[in-house]
Structure 1
């Protein structure tokens, strides 16, 4: 049977097609994921999410970006999965185990501790990941953080003045980042963080959960804000808490949009 069910959900406007393969099996390829994510000829989403059985957690989550590439972690999608399950859940991802606490109007995730060593980002060669000696036009000296996936964080005076559509792809594909990178531009104001994110394999999205985590961690580590901190994005706000050496705590909403059915063979 090639026909199956899917769920459409979003976390602060970062939207997902979620397929529970335990109920609706599907053979997923990069090409099929790309076709399903296409907003003109497919179902349409930022990321395609597959739920699979897990021997060590409630469920295993696989994540495919809009370009069909499979990635390690997605905070907004994880909140949606916990909300879809309707219970506290442990989620297995390629980026680590995530503990999710279910509440009717919000989901709290406990994510693995951030990593800062250049090998863990990963970077192509040894350098100071706290202030990388690199620049792309006005964006310079980012902090690199891995929160299950790689992020570069730039603190700027005005996030709206940054031409992210131009600089995002350049930084994402720079040879310094062998697994590509998510690009975050942030402004700290009145103890809060205002953020835009260029997601690798997707482009600029209305919100990025791991981007909010990485940027909050960078801001806390640099003494710009105190934990917990509110991170504002175009799609809404998340609360991020982190103490050095500890897990990252993220709290925010998840929205169910609709359920649908499709013939997987229609997507190659």
Structure 2
């Protein structure tokens, strides 16, 4: 059941119990573990984290077990946030969760060999696209993912803005997705941003992100902050796998995350006691 939060851009899904609105599970024998979608932490798509917000998030991550999730590859993730933020996190789920990185190296990596037919299809898509300003490279290969961005995987914000305006008028991406799903039913294609497509094998599900976290935190209650686009696309299986004790917040701006975390920070400092609310209720922070 979804409730509208007291924030301009966010929405909290009351998967189970929401407390003040987020904490308090420790008293029930659980430990809160936080999962942050990188797209919810940056001011614009593919943007870099604001320094002031980065310092705030780091202070929180130094006191709680926190993980990052992104559909981008690990190298791209590293260009979008300061190194000290990365070091404060317990792990980074890159390439839509198909890789889990620790502080220094990769801990889990799912592998998949995409067929020649699939690559040929994507090459044909690129060649036949009517978008006039394609910039190479347009494909980014992960160990078990392919991302396609016709504006170019290294495109600037202005180039992506130009492409988005063109795509909204011509609607190529929905047609590409429809044809892909018919031709490759053993794969999944998601629109992970307004300008890009993400391809993954059907054998992989982002629900495994929760499983990987529980292997490391046996009594975890997962509190997730996801951008709406992620929750509706590649992270949908993760959302469906959440248990009654877990909490999902859909947030569209770093300012919303800051407001939601402000309660957690006050709770950690002892300035505010957790207030347990019935299922479906919410307290204003």
TM-score range, shorter chain: 0.3 to 0.5
Greater share of helix? 2
Greater share of strand? 1
- Give the TM-score, by structure 2 length: 0.32
Higher Rg? 2
- Give the TM-score, by structure 1 length: 0.33
